[in-house]
Amino acid sequence: MKDKYWVAFIIGLILTPFAHKAATAQRGYFAIGGEILIIPLLMILVLAADQVKEMINEINEVFREREEREWEQKERASSTGRC
């Protein structure tokens, strides 16, 4: 799980100089701007993706448990009707 963060960090380290160079060329002068936020932004995106996956898994688990309960109730109702 922590490997994802290292990969995002390394990608950010690679992209930041290119983004800074492009921003400097566009501005026409040296300044530090939003391009410095590439690494934190990538970290936040990885964290958000993990949270969304976890939330989807929890929702699926809730629906799965609900469905299993409904099937058990149907089986009980059908088995009591046979007697």
The pLDDT score that the predictor gives to residue 82 is 55
Task: Return averaged pLDDT per consecutive 10 residues of the chain, 83 residues in all.
Answer: 89 96 93 93 96 95 86 75 55
Where exactly are the structural domains of the chain?
Answer: 2-81
Q: Is the pTM of this model over 0.85?
A: no
Q: Which residues contact 24 (CB under 8 A, 6 or more apart)?
A: 30, 31
The pLDDT score that the predictor gives to residue 1 is 62
Closest to 21 in 3D by CA, of 8, 35, 7, 11: 35
Is there a contact between 53 and 68 (Cβ–Cβ < 8 Å)?
no
